[in-house]
Structure 1
Amino acid sequence: MPDSIVAVVLAGGTGTRLYPASRSDRPKQFLSFGGDQSLLAETVERAGFADEVYVLTRPDLADQVREHAPSAAVLTEPEPKDTGPALAYAAHRVREQVGDCTLVCLPSDHHVEGDFAETMTDAAAVAAETDSLVTVGVEPTRPETGYGYVKPGDERQTDAGRTYYPVEKFTEKPDQGAAMRYRHHGYYWNAGMFAWTPDAFLREAADTELAPLVEAMDDGEPERGFDAVDPVSVDYAVMEATENAALVPATFEWDDLGAWDAIERVLDADEDGNVVLGDALTVDAENTVVATDGHVSVVGVDDLVVASYGDRTLVVPKRQAQRVREVVAELEADDLF
């Protein structure tokens, strides 16, 4: 069983639903949402339980990664093609550089509170002892339609007495009714945090649409491999396809900070239910999220998100916060994002 744990922090995304704070040249992992450090810096600090920490990013963000996480090694993937190719690339490169180890794979832009290290070291141990691909599941606190879910099987224990659950099924983002049923029937949120040995992951990936990338990396030609595969998430490409997935429950609080309405879940509200990030004045306003790097005043409104950064301002009903991606799609089409 591998003795060392290597953390791989994924920091190549953009966080489009937090526009305009998050932009193509200033992704959300480099921003702070109520803390003293950026989300990336907080993630690397949380990963301090690992023997080594790598941050995987795209080449144009490497310098920013080094500024925010000077203690971590930096890997740059040939091009961003979602988490499937990214994690196959990371597994191969870390195996080349470190050798026998267990990887814990972490998003760089989530909110976590609680005993993170205990859960992740347990997940790494289960991955090493069972030779499986481990996902960390978060117990739902609400019927969330923006997350994927995992259905666990019957409880099992490793020879060392660590508890885990074989995965019966991964499900995509549900509607409200299904989300309520999933919570009632003991499903977990799929938090996008994983543990596996490089050998186990690459073995499973070689039986999926990522096979051309794995083969090309074995031949020392990662660029050819990236050219041969389409963008695909690790959940869709590998985790939903494998019969060797296991779940370890999280013992910490978690939120993916995926959209502006998430801010009210991680910051305190005033007596009128307003949550303010930055300098803002609220007059006769209720249940509104205001975020700015300048100053914003809101008067006589309720249930809105008002986000203003630089020369960009966004106003959207809070219940439609996910629709920010539609704005970003139009801006990207005009090369304005």
Structure 2
Amino acid sequence: MGSSIHPVILCGGSGTRLWPRSRASRPKPFLPLVGHRTLFEQSLDRVANRSVFAAPTIVAGKAHRELVREQSGDVEGLAMIEEPFGRNTAPAIALAAHRAGEDAILLVCPSDHHIADAPAFAAAAETAAALAGEGWLVAFGIEPTRPETGYGYIKRGENIGGGFAIERFVEKPDAARAEQFLADGGYSWNGGIFCFRAGTYLEELARQRPDMAAAVERSVAGGQEADGIFHPDAEAFAAIEGESIDYAVMEGTERAAMVPVSMGWSDIGNWQALREALDADANGNVTRGRSELVDCRNVMVQSDGPRVSAIGIEDIIIVVDGDEVLVTTADGAQAVGKLAGASGQ
């Protein structure tokens, strides 16, 4: 396909459920959680093949400008859009669509996910790009490996060559429904990775969310470029009511499609998800930093300094970062973002 796929990497998440390692000043995308490179650097690595992918566009806030520059310094031709405020994914993607031009095929990727199988990701991107060229708005449908209640699901419809029409998007299910979805075989996880022609996306946004579309257009028209960064007009952008691409566009379009993919994907949404993405020893334990575990099973320890010693515990996660210590059960990991420390209080 040549380098006709334009990656758009969104750096909006704060990763509060990975406190205390993830903090407002250096959030989750910019941390080396799996391997030595950060999740953001890995996102750039996956789209580095210029015979398939054009140079990426990064959408980020001012607070993370220097982190983006520091971690993407050697990527030639990279474009950056700096959002004046966070307004969720639908407006962020619309900014990139305007800047890319209506015929560009955009591949929208979160900056903070882990994908173990990069070739499977690239193959799915090319399949999705072909469907996008035919006017479809394509979601990556991640093959579910367990009855996960923390993700939204996609129900596949008719076969459309290389992919499937989407019958419907399904909210995060309870455990019983998640079991049903897994048994059914026709459901995928919605991984938040999308591919479409820029013009198709903007048309759909204008049809479904005309106020948002108009405000984004005004912010681009009144924006300016400085030091290689495009700054949308802040006043126009401030008027936008934030909304995700899922609600603003994908769930209401008649042209939603999905490409199924199995690529070792994880959103690294909390400490338990990170534990599952890392290699464990024979007892299911995962350690980073100084530690000693005796008679422990399925324990994760991450320490940037003090030695952590534990005896006879199961399914516990211990994180030491600077002067902060987190201890949680694996099941409790979802709630870490509710802690006062995680929310900066």
Compute the TM-score of the two structures, normalised by the length of structure 2. 0.89
Q: What residue number does 1:292 align with?
A: 303
Structure 1 counterpart SS, 2:146:
coil
* Equivalent-residue separation in structure 1 for 2:38 and 2:23 (angstroms): 15
2:111 — aligned with what?
108
Indicate if the aligned counterparts of 2:304 and 2:321 stay in contact, CA closer than 8 A: yes
Equivalent residue letter for 2:21: A
Residue matched to 1:83: 89
TM-superposed CA distance for 1:87, in Å, is 1.2
The residue correspondences of 1:46-57 to structure 2 (distance < 5 A) are 46-49=46-49, 50-57=53-60
Correspondence for 1:121 among 91, 116, 126? 126
Cα shift readout 1:66-85 (whole Å, capped 9, x = no counterpart)? 11112132211121121122
Number of equivalenced pairs? 323
> Given residue 69 of structure 2, which amino acid in structure 1 is its aligned partner?
R
Find the aligned partners of 1:243 and 1:2 in 2 and give their Cα distance. Answer: 29
Contact 2:141 2:261 (C-alpha < 8 Å) held by counterparts: yes
| Cα shift at 1:177 | 0.6
Task: Give CA-to-partner distance per residue, 1:154-209, whole Å, 9 cap, x none.
Answer: 2122xxxxx11111110111110111111122200000000011101011111234
Shift of 1:124: 1.3
* 1:269 aligned onto 2:280: yes
CA shift in 2, pair 1:277/1:3, >3 Å: closer
1:307 counterpart = 2:319? yes
> 1: distance between equivalents of 2:334 and 2:16?
10
How far apart are residue 300 of structure 1 and its match? Answer: 2.8
| 1:95-153 deviation digits (Å, cap 9, x = unpaired) | 2xxx631000001111112222111121112111x212100001111000011100010
Name the amino acid aligned to 1:319: D
Match of 1:153 in 2: 157
Instruction: Tell me, in whole angstroms, the C-alpha distance in 1 between the residues paired with 2:273 and 2:342.
Output: 23
Which residue number corresponds to residue 227 of structure 2?
none
Q: Distance in 1 between matches of 2:342 and 2:122?
A: 39
The answer for the alignment partner of 1:199 in structure 2 is 199
SS at match of 1:235: helix
1:331, distance to aligned residue in structure 2 (A): 5.0
Native 8 Å contact 1:205 1:214 kept in 2: yes
Range moving further from structure 2, 86-95 or 255-264: 86-95
**1:279, 1:34 → 2: CA distance?**
17
In structure 1, C-alpha distance between the alignment counterparts of 2:175 and 2:262, rounded to whole Å: 25
The answer on whether the counterparts of 1:144 and 1:179 sit within 8 Å (CA) in structure 2 is yes
Aligned-pair CA distance for 1:3: 7.0
Q: Is the 8 A contact 2:85 2:238 kept in 1?
A: no
Distance in structure 1 (CA, Å) of the matches to 2:135 and 2:22: 38
Residue pair 2:152, 2:190 contacting (<8 A) in 1 also: yes
Indicate how the Cα distance of structure 1 residues 275 and 3 shifts in structure 2: closer, same or farther if over 3 A, else same: closer
Offset from partner CA, 1:263-282 (integer Å, 9 cap, x none)? 22221212222111333221
SS of the residue 2:207 aligns to: coil
Q: SS where residue 252 of structure 1 aligns?
A: coil
Q: Identify which range, 3-12 or 168-177, moves more after superposition.
A: 3-12
For the 8 Å contact 2:19–2:342, the answer to whether it is kept is no
Cα distance in 2 for residues equivalent to 1:280 and 1:91 = 47
CA contact (8 A) 1:292 1:308 kept: yes
RMSD of Structure 2 on Structure 1 (CA): 1.9
Residue among 292, 296, 320 paired with 2:332:
320
Secondary structure of the corresponding residue to residue 123 of structure 1: helix
Partner of 1:257: 268
Where do 5+ consecutive residues of structure 2 fail to align?
A: 223-232
Q: Which amino acid aligns with 1:276?
A: T
- Identify unmatched segments of 5+ residues in structure 1: 158-162
